[in-house]
Amino acid sequence: MFADLSGKVALVTGGGQGLGLGIVLKMAEQGADIAIADLNEENAASAARQVEALGRKAYTARMDVTDRDSVNTGVGSITAEAGQIDILVNNAGVAGAPGSTGTAFRDIDWEFTWKVNVKGLADVTEAVLPQMRERQSGKIINIASVAARAAKYITAYYATTKMSVIAYTQACAREFAAENINVNAIAPGRIWTQFHQDWMKEREAMGDEAVAGKDKYAVFMASLKEVIPMGRPQEPSDIGALAVFLASEEARNITGQTIQCDGGQVMV
Ligand SMILES: NC(=O)c1ccc[n+]([C@@H]2O[C@H](COP(=O)([O-])OP(=O)(O)OC[C@H]3O[C@@H](n4cnc5c(N)ncnc54)[C@H](O)[C@@H]3O)[C@@H](O)[C@H]2O)c1
């Protein structure tokens, strides 16, 4: 075990699939009990079964991070069931409004993406914070994106929200440091999750010749070879492993950082 999370309870938003599920499973493997808060209850239940199969306790809550009542109810029910939340992973995120055209100018894309990726993330943090403050202990990990520092490859509204996650991480890290609460972010690179697959479909619908009529996975692999020095995609488990480290006591002196996990696409 490289970082022991035994006795800790981790809440992962959007933990039912993709990157969030990778974080859920890595943290459970390292001994944490896990709460999965997701819009999609079926996926949350399936993730919970996988956590239990690893011998850990699992809790689920249907949560919409854009709805403050839903956030407060979800955090309240998980805290009542699990006793406390020691680790918060703000992972739920979107790349546009449902049916996004991928253009940078639709109001609905700006508003929807902001509500989930930034305001929703902040609302979940505020809901969990009082108990961390009371215990003078906590770990918060925000999922940003390579898109923040390599914005030319993605829409303006998505990149802007992810840069905001970095700014929010730094502001919170400074504010909560004296209460022994670490706040860090991970900037994942390119991962073949539903998120990326939906984006390919949207590009095709827009008539993007680079993807129209082509094998989307092959397009994905070819595109990342151009920009990622290591030439390979990232996996949910890669992000999970980094999240485990940041949540562990070994990382107690790391705060306010955004760590790239992108095969070297961005070097800071
Ligand atoms: N896939 C990539 O290449 C990539 C790269 C960098 C960063 N990211 C970021 O990683 C995070 C996860 O991405 P993913 O690829 O796993 O996406 P995904 O679409 O596969 O999964 C997102 C999860 O979040 C949940 N979710 C969406 N909106 C929600 C809401 N309002 N309330 C609660 N849950 C909600 C979904 O139900 C789903 O379980 C996002 O923040 C995304 O921006 C992804």
Residue 260, strand partner residues: 187
Q: What is the pLDDT of residues 65-124, one digit of tens each?
A: 999 999 999 999 999 999 999 999 999 999 999 877 666 678 999 999 999 999 999 999
Closest C-alpha among 182, 144, 195, 263 to residue 16: 195
Domains and CATH numbers, the chain: 9-191+236-261 (3.40.50.720)
Span 256-264, average pLDDT:
98
How crowded is residue 201: how many other Cβ atoms within 10 Å of its Cβ?
A: 11
Residue type, 130: P
Residue 116 is given by DSSP the state: I
Q: Kindly list the strands in the beta sheet with 87-90, ordered across the sheet, starting from the edge strand earlier in the chain.
A: 58-62, 33-38, 9-13, 87-90, 138-143, 181-188, 258-261
**Cα separation of 201 and 196, whole Å?**
9
Of all protein residues, the one whose alpha carbon is nearest to atom 7 of ligand 1 is 145
**Cα separation of 131 and 108, whole Å?**
34
Closest C-alpha among 183, 147, 152, 140 to residue 163: 147
Closest C-alpha among 267, 263, 268 to residue 224: 263
Residue 119 is given by DSSP the state: I
158 included as an active-site residue: yes
For a mutational test of ligand 1's pocket, the pick from 193, 197, 216, i.e. the residue with the most ligand atoms closer than 8 A to its C-beta, is 193
Q: How far is the CA of 185 from the centre of ligand 1 (A)?
A: 15
Q: Pairing relation of β-strands 87-90 and 58-62?
A: unpaired
Cβ neighbors of 76 (< 8 A, separation 6 or more) are none
Q: What is the pLDDT of residues 11-67, one digit of tens each?
A: 999 999 999 999 999 999 999 999 999 999 999 999 999 999 999 999 999 999 999
Span 185-214, average pLDDT:
88
Assess whether pLDDT exceeds 60 at residue 1: no
Please give the full DSSP string across 65-108, using - where no structure is assigned.
TT-HHHHHHHHHHHHHHHS---EEEE----SSSTT----TT-HH
Residue type, 156: A
Q: How far is CA 53 from the centre of its chain?
A: 23
Annotated catalytic residue within 59, 157, 158, 168: 158
Residue 101 has a pLDDT of 67
3-state SS assignment for residue 36: strand
Q: What is the pLDDT of residues 133-167, one digit of tens each?
A: 999 999 999 999 999 999 887 889 999 999 999 99
For a mutational test of ligand 1's pocket, the pick from 42, 75, 195, i.e. the residue with the most ligand atoms closer than 8 A to its C-beta, is 195
Return the structure tokens found at 104.
């940078």
How crowded is residue 254: how many other Cβ atoms within 10 Å of its Cβ?
A: 14
**Can you tell me which atom of ligand 1 is nearest the CA of 234?**
3
152-189 as b/e: b if 16+ CB within 10 A: eebbebbbbbbbbbbebbbebbeebeeeebbbbbbbbb
Residue 103 has a pLDDT of 66
Q: How far is the CA of 249 from the centre of ligand 1 (A)?
A: 27
Residue 226 has a pLDDT of 84
